[in-house]
């Protein structure tokens, strides 16, 4: 049996929200426009704010606060990275939450898509000067970047680069260790695939035998300093302070930016540890990510706690790559929430058409709301090579039964058009195979199906060999991964 392209039904995506603010689609030096209540000028001082020579933005203290946060009169340098004026900090920004700015940052303002400079209310004309954007109108609700020279351009137009080793728009293929970690020899063999260039990154799930962070630290000490990721670490297990310390430790030990995904886990597990489940899991994970980010950027005061208070800074540490923070996403609500704070969104068993038609539009919407780049999209995909004596139905049952029996995974798959019910994981496994969500075929066929994922907007595919590992042993799973990655050719890392 060969791999199919995806689910038979294509869901509809939610409509995009109305423009968030009334800034212009483009501005010339000297043109004045409003930024969430504050007024900024494109060149010389005008109506309360100016972009000074050298790329400094000066906003006098009496100017109205952006997004309700007081703006200091100090000059803030803005030469490089993208930071939102309203919303969570972007990757690489030292401090940029709800109206504050940071060194090495461009301010973002919500745009109306007019394509021309519009004076701020009550400030008179916008002046003249060279237009800095294309003549064509920008999309409604686009986020606009204010450069050090006063130029305004569309800043959010696709997936963000995230941090460290990854880049947008380039399909990457990584590998997942498929079960709880007991045998470090097996983990070392999988890490060798990444070290030797067959795959881009080694991913683990949440292991409670040898804990996942500790296992990755052990690998680095054993000489396997490779790019790593977690999908996902459960938020109920640790406070954001400990999560930030663990993430930074992995960056220091491996020399790479780890991708650390956080997820709420099952409500019963959260209740068992905390006495009650999260009232709103998506909001809880988004706040958790914001708290970890604030700590890693050295600015816990930027975090506005509801569930996770922060009262201490992380101590100073040697320079290391900044961890890339990720959130597990299955449904659009989580995707929208994650896009406001995460660098990366991680789906599990998410069909390619569902990623394209539901999750990515939701990520786009959440990113526009926060005026930040859309997170990278990573999906963990079951895959097995067709070989004599194998049954794809057995492999899918062994590899995916636990998730198929979980109501939230079954609900996601139904939304994607699959006939899956949590009460019948055997029938669900058959549906995964027939609809091509469980990839099964010869290596060339599997390579084509993985390329279909890239065409749907996935930035990184993580191959999960759990079905083969649990049915035919870890050595057979390793052979599958070698054959699939060889068929795909040289990885992008």
Domains of the chain: 1-156 (no CATH), 172-488 (3.20.20.30)
Per-residue pLDDT, 489: 85
pLDDT at 350 over 90: yes
Examine the pLDDT at 322 and tell me if it is beyond 90: yes
DSSP assigned state of 166: -
> Which segments of 21-101 are extended strands (E)?
32-35, 38-41, 50-52, 56-58, 75-77, 81-84
Asked whether the predicted pLDDT for residue 348 surpasses 90, the reply is: yes
Residue pair 386/487 in contact by the 8 Å Cβ criterion: no
| Model confidence at 221: pLDDT above 60 | yes
Q: Of the candidates 274, 254, 55, which has an alpha carbon nearest to the alpha carbon of residue 164? A: 254
Percentage of the chain exceeding pLDDT 90: 60
Q: What is the per-residue pLDDT across 96-152, written as a single tens digit (0 to 9) for each? A: 333 333 333 333 333 333 333 333 333 333 333 333 333 334 444 455 544 333 444
The number of beta carbons lying within 10 Å of the beta carbon of residue 471 is 17
**Closest to 365 in 3D by CA, of 19, 100, 82:** 19
- Specify the 3-state DSSP secondary structure of 249: helix
Closest to 103 (Cα-Cα) out of 128, 137, 77, 83? 77
Mean pLDDT of all residues in 64-70: 36
- Model pLDDT, residue 303: 80
pLDDT above 80 for 161: no
Tell me how far apart the terminal alpha carbons of the chain are, to the nearest angstrom. 31
Beta-ladder partners of 324? 259
Count of CA atoms in the C-beta half-sphere (13 A) of 282: 15
The mean pLDDT value of the chain amounts to: 75
pLDDT digits (tens, 9 = 90+) for 389-435: 999 999 999 999 999 999 999 999 999 999 999 999 999 999 999 99
Supply the pTM of this predicted model: 0.70
Mean pLDDT of 468-477: 98
Tell which residue, 246, 199, 249, has the closest CA to residue 226: 199
The per-residue pLDDT for 33 is 29
């Amino acid at each position: 049996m060969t791999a199919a392209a995806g689910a038979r039904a294509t869901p509809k995506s939610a409509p995009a929200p109305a423009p968030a603010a009334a800034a212009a689609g483009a501005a010339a030096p000297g043109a004045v426009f409003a930024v969430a209540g504050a007024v900024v000028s494109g060149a010389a001082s005008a109506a309360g704010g100016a972009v000074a020579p050298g790329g400094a933005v000066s906003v006098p203290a009496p100017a109205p606060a952006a997004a309700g946060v007081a703006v200091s009169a100090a000059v803030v340098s803005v030469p490089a990275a993208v930071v939102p004026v309203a919303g969570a900090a972007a990757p690489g920004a030292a401090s940029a939450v709800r109206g504050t700015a940071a060194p090495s940052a461009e301010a973002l303002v919500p745009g109306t898509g007019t394509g021309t400079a519009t004076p701020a209310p009550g400030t008179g004309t916008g002046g003249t000067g060279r237009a800095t954007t294309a003549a064509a109108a920008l999309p409604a609700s686009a986020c606009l970047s204010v450069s050090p020279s006063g130029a305004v351009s569309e800043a959010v137009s696709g997936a963000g680069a995230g941090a460290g080793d990854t880049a947008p728009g380039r399909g990457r293929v990584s590998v997942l260790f498929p079960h709880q970690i007991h045998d470090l020899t097996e983990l070392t063999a999988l890490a060798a695939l990444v070290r030797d260039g067959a795959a881009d990154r080694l991913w683990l799930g949440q292991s409670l035998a040898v804990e996942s962070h500790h296992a990755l630290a052990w690998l680095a000490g054993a000489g396997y300093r490779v790019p790593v990721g977690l999908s996902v670490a459960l938020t109920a297990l640790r406070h954001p302070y400990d999560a930030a310390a663990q993430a930074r430790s992995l960056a220091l030990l491996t020399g790479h930016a780890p991708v650390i995904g956080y997820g709420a886990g099952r409500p019963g597990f959260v209740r068992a540890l905390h006495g009650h489940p999260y009232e709103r899991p998506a909001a809880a994970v988004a706040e958790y990510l914001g708290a970890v980010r604030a700590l890693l950027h050295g600015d816990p005061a930027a975090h506005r706690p509801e569930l996770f208070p922060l009262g201490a800074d992380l101590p100073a540490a040697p320079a290391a790559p900044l961890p890339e923070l990720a959130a597990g996403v299955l449904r659009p609500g989580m995707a929208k929430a994650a896009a406001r704070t995460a660098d990366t969104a991680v789906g599990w068993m998410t069909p390619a058409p569902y990623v394209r038609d539901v999750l990515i539009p939701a990520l786009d919407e959440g990113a526009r709301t926060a005026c930040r780049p859309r997170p990278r999209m990573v999906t963990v995909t079951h895959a097995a090579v067709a070989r004599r004596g194998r049954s794809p139905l057995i492999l899918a049952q062994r590899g995916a039964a636990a998730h198929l029996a979980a109501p939230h995974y079954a609900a996601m798959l139904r939304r994607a058009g699959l006939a899956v019910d949590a009460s019948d994981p055997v029938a669900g496994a058959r549906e995964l195979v027939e609809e091509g969500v469980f990839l099964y075929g010869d290596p060339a066929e599997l390579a084509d199906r993985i390329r279909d994922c890239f065409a749907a907007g996935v930035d990184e595919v993580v191959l999960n060999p759990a079905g083969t590992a649990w049915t035919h042993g870890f050595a057979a799973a390793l052979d599958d991964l070698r054959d699939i990655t060889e068929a795909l050719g040289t990885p992008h890392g």
